[in-house]
Amino acid sequence: FQVLVVAPTRELAVQTNTEFLSIAKGLGMHSSCFIGGTSVAADIQKLRKASHFVIGTPGRLIDMVRQGALNLEHFNTIVLDEFDRLLDMGFLNDIETLISGMVNRKQTILFSATEEKGQKKLVDRLLTNPVMVRVHNGTQTADTVDQEIVSVKLGEKKMDILLGMIRDDTFKKVLVFAETKRWVSRICKDLRKSGIKVDEIHGDKSQNYRLKALNSFRDNSIQVLVATDVAARGLDISHVSHVINYEQPRNIDSYIHRIGRTGRAGQLGKAITFVN
């Protein structure tokens, strides 16, 4: 058997592969991971060795199909992680290409913490008599996350408020979200100037840089990670004490995914949103 697992971000694909390797140890099952920002030639070489699970982002998987290195006819199961993101306009064509190439597809599995009602027709096209498992209704936040709004008054500086918070001893591991790459870099620069151990991840950073920054955050080499929504989806980072929305997210789904980075696995966390 072969299973194709598709994730919307490189970080999530790498995390999924890492988790698979730890779970499948000693079972004689093999996986391979394919993401943008890495060597195409090395990926083609990897595909010469059989894998039970092929995990990757849509763009690189499509590249491998076009290169003739990945034969979708061998796969009977596809898993779409964060499917509501994968089925939006940015990825939809790639997902439909992958699925149409899986002529022996027998099982389709979709995972997400949220769902888009407007995607129902699309989901119905992919699935036949599906079994639906709901942990919650997809519009609620976790009970383990204490949520707070901080009103930024006229004349106050968000950065001063943020620094005041981060310098508090209870803010041990802080994930700060901003809407744009430019703002992420600006916040990171200002925090670093103020002596905070901080790094950033967003789409303009190389894959190696992003993974290094994430690992530094995971192992507590840095106190603060500033990110765009690239870090909001599915990433499992232990013991994040606080999530701070430096800028308000664009919609409720984004908010749910962002603050879901804290209060995980039964632990308590705090989410703070700055409002002008």
Per-residue pLDDT for 52 more than 90?
yes
The answer as to whether 63 is a domain residue is yes
Dist CA 86 CA 94 (whole Å): 9
Domain, as residue range, for 9: 3-126
Taking residues 223-236, report their average pLDDT: 83
Q: Which CATH number fits the domain that encloses residue 164?
A: 3.40.50.300
Among the candidates 75, 96, 126, a domain finishes at 126
Per-residue pLDDT for 95 more than 70?
yes
pTM of the full structure: 0.70
The answer as to whether 132 is a domain residue is no
pLDDT above 70 covers a percentage of the chain that reads 96
- My answer on whether 45 and 110 are in the same domain is yes
pLDDT for position 138: 54
Is 241 exposed, middle or buried, given 0-12, 13-18 or 19+ CB atoms closer than 10 A? middle
Dist CA 115 CA 217 (whole Å): 29
The answer as to whether 258 is a domain residue is yes
Confidence of residue 4 (pLDDT cuts 50, 70, 90): very high
* Concatenated DSSP letters of 117-169: GGGHHHHHHH-SS-----SS-SS---TTEEEEEEE--TT--HHHHHHHHHTST
The string of pLDDT tens digits covering residues 158-172 is 999 999 999 999 999
Taking residues 139-145, report their average pLDDT: 73
The string of pLDDT tens digits covering residues 246-272 is 999 888 888 888 888 898 877 889 999
The answer as to whether 131 is a domain residue is no
- In this structure, the chain runs to a length of 276
Among the candidates 93, 126, 159, a domain finishes at 126
pLDDT for position 114: 75
- My answer on whether 100 and 157 are in the same domain is no
Per-residue pLDDT for 27 more than 90?
yes
- My answer on whether 20 and 109 are in the same domain is yes
CB 12 within 8 A of CB 81: yes
- My answer on whether 102 and 208 are in the same domain is no
The answer as to whether 140 is a domain residue is no
pLDDT for position 17: 95
- My answer on whether 119 and 12 are in the same domain is yes
Per-residue pLDDT for 126 more than 80?
yes
- My answer on whether 75 and 182 are in the same domain is no
pLDDT for position 212: 92
Among the candidates 95, 126, 157, a domain finishes at 126
The answer as to whether 134 is a domain residue is no
Handedness of CA 82, 87, 89, 95 (dihedral sign): positive
